[in-house]
Amino acid sequence: MNQVKRLFTKTFAVFIFLTLISSQGFLYAQSSNGEALFKANCASCHKPDEKYVGPALKGARDREPSKDWVYKWIHNTTSMVMTDPYAKKLKDEMGGVVMTEFPDLSNADIDAILQYANDFKPAGTATTTGPGGATSVSATPSSDNTVLYGILTLILAVVGLILLQVNSNLKKLTDEKDGIKSPQPVPFYRNKAYLLLLTIVLFIFAGYFLVEGAMGLGRQQGYQPNQPIYFVHKVHAGVNQISCLYCHGGAQDSKHATIPAVNVCMNCHKAIKEYAGAPIIKEDGTTLDANAEIQKLYKYAGWNPDTKTYDKPGKPIEWIKIHNLPDFVYFNHSQHVKVGRVACQTCHGEIQNMIQVKQFSDLSMGWCVNCHRTTNVQFNDDKGNGNKFYSIYEKFHQDIKDKKYDSVTVQMIGGTECGKCHY
């Protein structure tokens, strides 16, 4: 009887322990309320210390018109954006993206979030200064702690197992001292507690991968294939500030953004045959031989840089497509870029800082729909003139003037109806 009871207690302890680990709750136990609130509500658009969809939150309060401004802002974003000069300026700086409002956050919650942002220190504070003080072009390191947490969890699990073992041995010793005959030792593979533990672990892992796998089918956030030429956006769109539309003009006027043809590259590279910029550090830490990449371009173009003639037949560069929506989804770039005035970076991330393009958003239905719920339709163009695409929505315009609503979201014009995105 005693033995059954002990087995039960032991199993129960193991179970509680595992639940704790798998929720990783105790790892976060130290983190503040501000951090939790930030991660739950704000992290999709803000980073503590750098510009993202919205401005960096570090020091926000010091930039703002008054200490209390932020409470009004977070509780009444949409109306502030229309009336408050500082809010209007912010919105323009952020490419017209409007923040979601949070009427339910208390002032204390907001203080806690801003405090968290002010105290925030980036994980790896590395500077990218190369030998001789020359700055180099490299990707911003991402702070992904998942692996670290995984390892910690594993170590803790092993420690836990050892402790359990020690505990049971001690118990055996005291039992023997008290003259209680210990039961036949059971080999560990027949020990019920361990078998149960193993089952639970397998169950959790299988469940995790099943769910992740099923949800991720056909999705590839973070996808970053090796391209036929090591083309660096940071060099072109970042350092040399070439407009995205110079190469992806389709994004403005058509459904597809399009990838530039070889002759577009050659507009510049007939003249630029050598790379003289800062060293380009690849993701694997080695330095890129940029001139060799320009020579690859010449091979594709059939261009002879010495005679400055096309002396061989050219062939197209077979770029690997990174973003892929399923065929049953309708997505139109010009509708978002030109009409909706959404910045490329809102959907694609900071491409101008990327060494190699990486898929930034998950392109899930939830991603599209959430943005349509929270983003306002832009009734005015850059110069404050009426956006002609919306003349059919005169009614909304009038309603805003009549103060029926502060603003109109994409959802209100039908942006969450199934038929708008599905053929």
Cα separation, 206 vs 342, in Å, equals 39
Cα separation, 207 vs 273, in Å, equals 54
Nearer to ligand HEC by Cβ, of 18 and 80: the residue is: 80
Minimum gap (Å) between residue 318 Cβ and ligand HEC: 10
DSSP designation for 390: G
Minimum gap (Å) between residue 207 Cβ and ligand HEC: 19
Minimum gap (Å) between residue 308 Cβ and ligand HEC: 17
Helix (H) or strand (E) holding 105: none
Minimum gap (Å) between residue 385 Cβ and ligand HEC: 17
Burial class (CB in 10 A: 0-12, 13-18, 19+), 295: middle
Report H helices in 69-122.
69-75, 77-83, 85-93, 107-119
Nearer to ligand HEC by Cβ, of 93 and 311: the residue is: 93
Give the amino acid at 135: T
Minimum gap (Å) between residue 149 Cβ and ligand HEC: 24
Cα separation, 189 vs 169, in Å, equals 17
Minimum gap (Å) between residue 141 Cβ and ligand HEC: 20
Cα separation, 23 vs 28, in Å, equals 10
Minimum gap (Å) between residue 372 Cβ and ligand HEC: 5
Cα separation, 23 vs 115, in Å, equals 26
**Distances 417 to 345, 365, 372 between C-alpha atoms, Å:** 25, 12, 10
Nearer to ligand HEC by Cβ, of 21 and 80: the residue is: 80
Nearer to ligand HEC by Cβ, of 18 and 344: the residue is: 344
Note the Cα 189 to chain centre separation in Å.
43
CA end-to-end distance (rounded Å), the chain: 66
Nearer to ligand HEC by Cβ, of 57 and 197: the residue is: 57
Look at the chain and count its residues. Answer: 423
- Which residues partner with 329 through β-bridges? 422
